[in-house]
Amino acid sequence: MGLQPYLILAACLFTIGLFGVLTRRNAIGILLGIELMLNAVNVNLVAFARFTGETAGLIFALFTISITVAEVALGLAIVILIFRVRRTVEADNLDLLKG
């Protein structure tokens, strides 16, 4: 197994996540798409770390995982807060900042 299959798998995952972010209406659904994209990045980082023998990739993946968890927790807190105020989590309805 070379490095290429891992990278192509990660590219497929990334684009599936991108599709989710672009097409989902529900704010939580959009967050799930972002999760998939970040996950694809982790696969890339770990694969490169393994195939170059450099541990920096593993540590970057560790940082990405930690930051993603914090990001999801706060993102969902914001979603819940928006729901408390506006009673909806449909991203299309959240256009207060639109001129």
> Which residue(s) pair with 83 in the sheet?
none
Q: What are phi and psi of 26, to 5 degrees?
A: -80, 135
Residue with tokens 């928006």: 82
Collect all residues with Cβ–Cβ distance below 8 Å to 21 and sequence separation of at least 6: 30, 33, 34, 37
Query: Is residue 86 involved in binding other proteins (CB under 8 A)?
Result: no
Residue 64 CB, shortest distance to other proteins, in Å, is 10
Query: Is residue 24 involved in binding other proteins (CB under 8 A)?
Result: yes
Query: Is residue 34 involved in binding other proteins (CB under 8 A)?
Result: no
**Residues 90/79, Cβ–Cβ less than 8 Å:** no
* Contact residues: other proteins, CB under 8 A: 1-9, 11-20, 22-26, 28-29, 31-33, 35-36, 39, 42-43, 46-47, 49-53, 55-56, 58-59, 61-63, 65-70, 72-74, 76-81, 83, 89, 92
